[in-house]
Amino acid sequence: MVAITQFAPVPSRQRLTTQIVELAADTTAIRSLDWDRDRFDIEFGLRNGTTYNSFLICGDKVALVDTSHRKFEELYLQALTGLINVAEIDYLVVSHTEPDHSALIGDLLNLAPDIVIVGAKIAIQFLENMLHLPFKSLIVKSGDRLDLGQGHELEFVAAPNLHWPDTIFSYDHHTGILYTCDVFGMHYCDDHTYDKNSHLLEEDFRYYYDCLMAPNARSVLAALKRISKLDIKLIATGHGPLLKESISHWLEQYQTWSETKAKTDTFVVFFYCQDYGYSEHLAGAIAHGVNRNGVQVEVVDLQETPPQELREWVETASGLIIGMPPQSCLVAHTALSTILAAAHQKQAIGLFETGGGEDEPIYPLRNKFQGIGLTEAFPPILVKEAPQTAMDQLCDEAGTDMGQWLTRDRTQKNIQAIDLELEKALGRISSGLYLITAKKKRLPVRCWLLGSPKPVVAPSVWRSPLPKTVPSNPLCKSAIILSSTS
């Protein structure tokens, strides 16, 4: 196997290069190396740049797996057209629609409009909104296969919530390569194509997992289970080095970290039919409210998830939220029976209509859950029209109620943990205006104007209305009174 490194600097303060590497039979990687990127999203600081990896498989049919970041438009298309006439590409597999992997899809379609885009149902929906171009598509789900000829048969594995709902893996039965996009990746940029120096990568691998994957640890475990039967020779990730030298080690790390995280997390499992009614919109608003209390939400499609997996989700969740599926969907009906059979009385339940026009009646289902003894975290949400601001707010509040119910013990403990120091500090308060600062490890982390329910920044304190009550936020544990205006 020959590895060719092609450096093509562009006039930019940031160093951008591409690397083209033959990975296996008929399979080539185009790695876009972003050497100096120091930030990903808002809070994800990078110290070793990153890469965006794309892969070309040339059987009788040609498939491209993912593209690259917009900043690589010229370099990437140069590299790709150096390998193949773009018009000969039959399929573009979209593992995930975030722009660091999909930004150049429009460019490709302009060059070759007959390319069939392969992806999860939700990925295709996202692309319809993103591209504003007509395109051919093929929706795939777990277990579906796509024969490219010459032995290259791709099998798809759904990996929802890692870290977007649209994520799929693709496994080539001929080469043993598993294409995973963001999953098992790391933000690490260097000339080494593979994970040869694994000890140098450990920290970045962990940091990436913690930032992107840990919040959905149970979905990670579900995805690991789905790929456990595959004979994986190479994990072709979308970021950083490709994993070949220490595959079992990296998989074990994901398994161990996710099991640990799953044991301690309180989480809500959110069941719905992804493409029905206003499911996704409403689910997003409810999940936002749940998350506000630090409770994780795992989203599960009633139509896509096998009964055994459904049972496991229900048995381990602290709360269940269900969006009503269409009455005509037999698979979803069976799924609801499975959920009812596995639900138990320590759980909270919340139900919402999804407004698809033929929703399963909500009240009979509610009665069944109440009959089992589950606590209703919020009353059924009825949806009769396209959701507007008021409905979004109602959903958000419903999610907040669920989150608060699930964290009530934790909140109680925090209140009990208010220590003597704080009590003494509060005892010094008489009339007047006070600024209270919460400190953590001797550093001020928040300020309150006494009585103000929201944190305030110091300069505005003196213009705020006079306080009436003492803030009850647990951060006050180490509060001290800094100043008084009286």
Cβ 66 vs Cβ 93: under 8 Å: yes
Cβ count near 271 (within 10 Å) = 26
HEC string of 1-46?
Answer: CCEEEECCCCCCCCCEEEEEEEEECCEEEEEEEECCCCEECCCEEC
Cβ 75 vs Cβ 11: under 8 Å: no
Give 69 or 174: the residue with its C-beta nearer to Fe ion. 69
Stretch that binds Fe ion, among 181-189, 255-263, 293-301, 456-464 (CB under 5 A): 181-189
Residue labelled with tokens 């608003």: 285
Taking the complex as a whole, how short is the minimal distance between the CB of residue 36 and Fe ion, in angstroms?
17
Give 100 or 265: the residue with its C-beta nearer to Fe ion. 100
Return the closest-CA partner of residue 278 out of 384, 398, 159, 129. Answer: 384
Taking the complex as a whole, how short is the minimal distance between the CB of residue 97 and Fe ion, in angstroms?
9
Cβ count near 292 (within 10 Å) = 13
Taking the complex as a whole, how short is the minimal distance between the CB of residue 180 and Fe ion, in angstroms?
11
Backbone dihedral region for residue 381 (phi beyond 0: left; psi -120 to 50: alpha; all else: beta): beta
Write each residue from 82 to 101 as x if it is in contact with Fe ion (CB under 5 A), else as -, in one continuous string: ----------------x-x-
Taking the complex as a whole, how short is the minimal distance between the CB of residue 439 and Fe ion, in angstroms?
36
Position with the least CB separation from Fe ion: 98
Calculated CA dihedral for residues 151, 154, 155, 158, nearest 10 degrees: 170
Give 100 or 353: the residue with its C-beta nearer to Fe ion. 100
Which residues, 6+ apart, have CB-to-CB distance to 140 below 8 Å?
Answer: 118, 119, 120, 146, 156, 168
CA distance 312 to 302: 13
Taking the complex as a whole, how short is the minimal distance between the CB of residue 283 and Fe ion, in angstroms?
19
Residue labelled with tokens 């032995």: 151
Stretch that binds Fe ion, among 135-143, 175-183, 292-300, 348-356 (CB under 5 A): 175-183
Stretch that binds Fe ion, among 178-186, 305-313, 317-325, 421-429 (CB under 5 A): 178-186
The two tokens of residue 240 are 């950083």
Specify which residues 91 forms β-bridges with: 63, 116
Taking the complex as a whole, how short is the minimal distance between the CB of residue 216 and Fe ion, in angstroms?
12
Q: By CB under 5 A, is residue 182 in contact with Fe ion? A: yes
Taking the complex as a whole, how short is the minimal distance between the CB of residue 42 and Fe ion, in angstroms?
14
Stretch that binds Fe ion, among 21-29, 176-184, 214-222, 434-442 (CB under 5 A): 176-184
Give 100 or 298: the residue with its C-beta nearer to Fe ion. 100
Taking the complex as a whole, how short is the minimal distance between the CB of residue 314 and Fe ion, in angstroms?
28
**Number of residues counted as binding Fe ion (CB under 5 A):** 3
Write each residue from 99 to 138 as x if it is in contact with Fe ion (CB under 5 A), else as -, in one continuous string: -x--------------------------------------
Cβ count near 257 (within 10 Å) = 17
Give 130 or 340: the residue with its C-beta nearer to Fe ion. 130
Give 242 or 391: the residue with its C-beta nearer to Fe ion. 242
Write each residue from 263 to 292 as x if it is in contact with Fe ion (CB under 5 A), else as -, in one continuous string: ------------------------------
Taking the complex as a whole, how short is the minimal distance between the CB of residue 353 and Fe ion, in angstroms?
31
The two tokens of residue 375 are 């606590």
The two tokens of residue 217 are 């640890």
- Restricting to residues 368-407, which ones interact with Fe ion according to CB under 5 A? none
CA distance 325 to 361: 9
DSSP code, position 477: G
Stretch that binds Fe ion, among 182-190, 214-222, 329-337, 414-422 (CB under 5 A): 182-190
Give 159 or 406: the residue with its C-beta nearer to Fe ion. 159
How many angstroms separate the Cα of 114 from the Cα of each of 92, 94, 297, 459? Answer: 10, 15, 38, 60
Give 100 or 396: the residue with its C-beta nearer to Fe ion. 100
DSSP code, position 326: B
CA distance 368 to 245: 52
Q: By CB under 5 A, is residue 66 in contact with Fe ion? A: no
Give 98 or 401: the residue with its C-beta nearer to Fe ion. 98
Give 165 or 399: the residue with its C-beta nearer to Fe ion. 165
- Side chain identity, residue 339: I
How many angstroms separate the Cα of 393 from the Cα of each of 91, 400, 404? Answer: 41, 10, 16
Give the residues lining the site for Fe ion (CB under 5 A).
Answer: 98, 100, 182
